[in-house]
Amino acid sequence: MKVRFALMFAFWIATFVVPAYAHHSFAAEFDINKPVRLTGKVTRVEWTNPHTYFYIDAVDADGKLTNWAIEGPSPGALSRRSWGKDDLKVGDTVVVEGYRAKNGSNTANGRRVTLPDGRRLYGGSPGDGGPGDDGTDQGNLPATSTNK
Amino acid sequence: MDLHGWLMALAHSPLGHAMQTSRWGFAVVEMVHLLGLAILGGSVLIVDLRLLGVILKGESAITISRDLSRVLLVSLSVMVLSGIALLSEEAGKCYYSPAFRWKMVLLAAAAVFYFTLHRQAILRTRRGTVTFWPRIAAVVSLLLWLGVGVAGRAIGLL
Amino acid sequence: MPLLHQFCETLYQSGFGTMLRESNNAFSVIESVHVLAITLLFGTIAVLDLRMLGVILRQISVSSVARGVLPLTWSGLAVSVVSGFLLFWAEAEKMYANPSFRAKLVLLALAAINALVFHRTIYRSAHEWERQHMSPWRARATAIASLALWSGVIIAGRAIAYF
């Protein structure tokens, strides 16, 4: 049937269009076998749709200072988790617990962020399969390898 | 087996593993889901707007609905199959997502309504005239299917 | 900097663009409208395409189907363009370099040209063939191109997120 033909044609095209970088689900983008715990100074905040990002200068396992991109959901989703746009200020030292991107880049998801005043913000979704996920709002983050 | 058990079984199935480890599986399946959505929505729109007397008033609603039902069934099948694949990757998140639960309830309602009261309302139509019950059926149908679409969008936004 | 790039940067940095980009709900709502509008745009034109391919509604003449469907398709296009422009405004700087966005615009232009050519040529003689179950090969070629091109627009649109 022609509907099926059109759909299959589109399906075929899609395999060329989409690069080797899956998106939009925890399991597809982040690696559950690569937990990270990063402590560093915030260098930049992008409070944008469809995804928010903030960047920190953190010292990695080799002692090198590298800039990491921390990905989060949309501003709307974060505000529903009680994040405010001004919670992350450039220059603040924060602790980010999350999982590294599957493509190996210096990108992690901001599953839990601890602010200078001790407040903890949660950037995941109940049931998303991320670390410590037990279906509750905050989950229980297991001890992760520490990158000081 | 309860819903949670079923979803976890799906997540641990070969389909689930394939979807979770594939680099672009989710993206491609989601695109198929999106194209199916467009076709499904189009067929619903045309049948229901005919029932409301907005378009194709001079043509038989029964004729239109008979053919577009086939389109709807094919696109609905594509959406259900692709939807199960998407679900196998995000089973836990969907289980806890109120948007997903709403979507499933509205989908069941829309499908049941479509094959029962909606079908009966169509059979009562006559060429060139628009009667009461077909109009109600059309509005209910449009609202239910729109609800499915909106709830589906909300899964990713909440 | 090329003029087009400058234009994108101006939109991106404008107050309105920034407000949309950083909004809690506005961007999500506009994006949802844009996505659901594909039913009004592609879902309806697909019915006309399938008629010309002789798959559905064979008892109804092509021009009758067109008369019923095209106003909906135009509405869908209007909603898509307006919502799409707002999304573009919010993300303009990023869209300038995005290959999938550029591909989407190219495919959109091709889909429009396909429709224009159809209406100016083979459709002019519709009264001669519109009652046939399967339309002449030129009409069928238009229909297949329409299905493929609009599918491509939707796919390219979704793929914007991956670049």
Q: What's the complex ipTM?
A: 0.95
Helix (H, G, I), strand (E, B) or coil at A95: strand
Q: What DSSP character marks residue A137?
A: S
Torsion angle of C-alpha atoms A35, A101, A54, B156, degrees rounded to 10: -100
Q: Residue A126's pLDDT is what?
A: 80
Which of the given ranges, A10-19, A22-31, B63-72, has the highest pLDDT on average? B63-72
Residues of chain B predicted below pLDDT 70:
1, 127-130
Out of B26, B78, B95, the one facing A7 most closely (by C-beta) is B78
**8 Å CB contact between B59 and C69:** no
The β-bridge relationship of strands A65-72 and A107-109 is parallel
Domain ranges of chain A: 21-148
Give residues with Cβ within 8 angstroms of C109, minimum separation 6: none
pLDDT greater than 90 at residue C40: yes
Contact B34 C35 (CB under 8 A): yes
Helix (H, G, I), strand (E, B) or coil at A104: coil
Chains that touch C (3 or more CB pairs under 8 A): A, B
What global pTM score does this model have?
Answer: 0.89
Residue with the larger pLDDT of the pair A23 and C85: C85
DSSP string, chain C: --HHHHHHHHHHHSHHHHHHHT-SSHHHHHHHHHHHHHHHHHHHHHHHHHHHTTSS-TTS-HHHHHHHHHHHHHHHHHHHHHHHHHHHHHHHHHHHT-HHHHHHHHHHHHHHHHHHHHHHTGGGGHHHHTTSSS--HHHHHHHHHHHHHHHHHHHHHHHGGG-
Q: Pick the closest to residue A54 from A77, A30, A70, A66 (CA basis).
A: A70
Out of B34, B70, B150, the one facing C154 most closely (by C-beta) is B34
CATH class assigned to A21-148: mainly beta
- pLDDT 10s digits, A87-130: 999 999 999 998 888 888 899 998 889 999 988 888 888 877 66
Question: Which residues 25-64 of B have a C-beta within 8 angstroms of C?
Answer: 27, 30-31, 34-35, 37-46, 49-50, 55-56, 58-59, 63-64
- Integer Rg of chain A from CA: 17
Domain ranges of chain B: 3-157
Residue of B nearest to A12 (CA): B28
Q: What DSSP character marks residue A17?
A: H
- pLDDT 10s digits, B15-61: 999 998 888 889 999 999 999 999 999 999 999 999 999 999 999 99
Contact B35 A125 (CB under 8 A): no
Q: Residue A124's pLDDT is what?
A: 82
- For A101, left (φ over 0), alpha (ψ -120 to 50), or beta? beta
Q: Residue B110's pLDDT is what?
A: 98
- How many Å from the N-terminal Cα to the C-terminal Cα in chain C? 22
The β-bridge relationship of strands A93-101 and A120-122 is unpaired
Domain ranges of chain C: 3-158
Q: Establish whether the linkage from the previous residue to A50 is cis, with ω within 30° of 0.
A: yes
Question: Which residues 130-159 of C have a C-beta within 8 angstroms of B?
Answer: 151, 154-155, 158-159
Q: Which of B2, B68, B96 to mutate to test the interface with A (most CBs of A within 10 A)?
A: B96
Contact B27 A23 (CB under 8 A): yes
CA pair distance A69, A43, nearest whole angstrom: 10
**Residue A135 pLDDT level (bands cut at 50, 70, 90):** low
The structure tokens 């991109």 sit at A69
Determine the distance from the C-alpha atom of residue A119 to the mean position of all C-alpha atoms in its chain, rounded to a whole number.
Answer: 18
